Structure 1
């Protein structure tokens, strides 16, 4: 009896299986250098999808509602065991908006944010005794910087392809207002308390899918930063550089800073409107974003100018922005640029336009 044909068949099958496995391994390589997060969720996600993966903090809107992609990555953690995005060099931390923070002690009340031409949306605020500017203004008048917000909304209306990046979102007046118009927003803040309150506002207003929150400070280098509290402006903490991990005993009193360049993968080849209010750290943020300014099309940069009117930091901000082709404008009057020599008389807020 000829046994050779019975021996050849399993050998051939084994060789074929090995070849197939090797081929699949070559074709399916994890996209390790991708800027994609562990999961992309856009506004078309169902309520069921939104409730899934509550433990993950890798939720991210890719701003393209025609495409929902998922890429497996292995997240890493910071010293507080919070998830950092694995494909980023520094610890970019996405804040988990699926958690219910409605009972956190810093929420004084949630009231209606009233912006003309927009339907009201809930916003949670601090006790006005410890936040005499933003929260008090919202409680007594329904908004904060309402005129500036209307200007931003009108600019975005005329530029439908612009994404909105809120750097220093505080309790979320700009973030909520822009999200209410149907525009997706990425908002960053170093203060965990602010993000807990904003998360609650988003949930109450059914705007969670419109906003991605980043829990980091922004500086010119990655480090642990401490907070200097102002007992009358509790939502706008000033950051202190050079804090050691040993000194950062509480995540409520410290944060992890990233540089603007860390966010390039999110926004490369995108056009942005940036609102920047990071308590005198604006220059440091710019210096940590030289690649960001090259590779991302920043059309508008709205920033607080009050602290920089007559100091060297203001001079360096002007130099940084003008070298890149930007001109300063009063947000409420963008027909004519402001004159550099009159910088001391500029309004408390300005917008750089390219």
Structure 2
């Protein structure tokens, strides 16, 4: 895989002139070889499946996600086990990590020598991912995109701020007063379909999808029909904690996925009770369209 083919100033070379997909000037593709001047704290993780270790670079110890690594643990370790056991069985799968935060899923997938497309809009997060990638020498395994998923490309939006969850911001559906992208809480948007030229260039057609973007997961499906029709995604791991309180959006996601033969499960095997009100569904959902006998 040739990382240089995806450098920001080369994207136009493989996108047709009549493409409706917004291209290079909208996508913020991060140079994974950029010199890191910040002095980040980084940890070598515990082993996943008693074998796989990687590096995670963290915020301070009061940050919700970072605290796991200060405590010699792994963030969402149980979910990682459930999702990544699929990697162990199906070697052809890559990962699309939407809302990568400080890179737990991205770094473990890359450490398993899987191809990863990671989307993370918050600069203090994605620069920590870059540092971890450099320390592990995994540049060839990852494409990192520094945009926020939204229904339209090229908009500037604000992020919420939470000192106890530094990397877990939600986007505001309004333009910021200060529109400078030098402010890490101002982000530029992309549509999920903006990934299509990149995915086509990789020649890869099968991915697991992990989505955790603080209630904005709806935008993946609203803006990504071309990508979702083009690639095979046997399992979608989605945070449901916030979207379940937006009934219209949650219902649209459910309809979109069930039409495509996905089943909502708690752990890739046990189905969610569809008679339970949406707001009472679990905080995380594994949407699967795999044969249960293959993975359960």
Q: Report how far residue 123 of structure 1 moved.
A: 1.3
| Aligned pair partner of 1:124 in 57, 67, 71 | 57
> Does the 8 Å CA contact 1:261/1:292 hold for their aligned counterparts?
yes
- What 5-or-longer segments of structure 2 have no aligned partner? 16-20, 290-296
Query: Which has the greater radius of gyration?
Result: 1
Bigger Cα displacement from structure 2, 293-302 vs 168-177: 293-302
Secondary structure, counterpart of 2:242 in structure 1: helix
**Unaligned regions of 5+ residues in structure 1, if any?**
1-39, 43-52, 61-69, 76-85
Which residue of 35, 41, 65 maps to 2:2?
Answer: 41
Contact residue 165 and residue 274 of structure 1 kept, 8 A: yes
Question: Are 2:217 and 2:243, in contact at CA under 8 Å, matched by a contact in 1?
Answer: no
Question: Deviation string for 1:201-246 (max 9, x for gaps)?
Answer: 1111222222111111111111111111111111111112231685
Contact 1:118–1:180, Cα closer than 8 Å, also in 2: no
Q: 1:246 and 1:234, CA in 2 relative to 1: closer, same or farther beyond 3 A?
A: closer
2:251 corresponds in structure 1 to 315
Moved beyond 6 Å, runs of 4+: none
1:314 Cα offset (Å): 2.0
Q: What is residue 159 of structure 1 aligned with on the other side?
A: 90
With normalisation by structure 1, the TM-score equals 0.71
RMSD: 2.8
Provide the C-alpha distance between the structure 1 equivalents of 2:284 and 2:106, rounded to a whole number of angstroms: 17
Aligned to 1:243: 175
The question of 1:339 aligning with 2:270 is answered: no
Cα 1:316–1:295 change in 2 (3 A) is same
Shift of 1:71: 8.9
Indicate conservation of the 8 Å contact 1:90/1:258, yes or no.
no
CA, structure 1 residues 154+59, in 2 after alignment: closer, same or farther (shift >3 Å)? farther
Q: How does 1:143-154 map to 2 (within 5 A)?
A: 143-154=74-85
2:164 corresponds to which of 232, 242, 245: 232
Q: State the Cα distance separating 1:191 from its structure 2 match.
A: 0.6
Q: Could you say which residue in structure 1 is the equivalent of 2:229? A: 294
Q: Structure 1 residues 245, 270: closer, same or farther in 2, change over 3 A?
A: farther
- Correspondent of 2:7 among 45, 58, 62: 58
Measure the CA separation in 2 of the matches of 1:183 and 1:126.
26
1:175 matches 2:110: no
Is the Cα contact below 8 Å between 2:12 and 2:24 reproduced in 1? no
For the 8 Å contact 2:209–2:233, the answer to whether it is kept is: yes
Aligned mates of 1:118, 1:59 — CA distance in 2: 35
SS state at 1:301 partner: strand
Is 1:100 aligned to 2:35, yes or no?
yes
User: 1:242 and 1:87, CA in 2 relative to 1: closer, same or farther beyond 3 A?
Assistant: closer
Give deviations 1:334-353, integer Å, cap 9, x for gaps.
Answer: 33322222244432211111
Matched, 1:218 2:149: yes
Distance in 1 (CA, whole Å) between partners of 2:216 and 2:145 is: 17
Q: How many residues align?
A: 277
> 302-311 or 231-240: which moved more?
302-311
Equivalent-residue separation in structure 2 for 1:310 and 1:122 (angstroms): 34
Where 1:266 maps in the other structure, the secondary structure is helix
Query: Which one of 58, 66, 71 corresponds to residue 140 of structure 1?
Result: 71
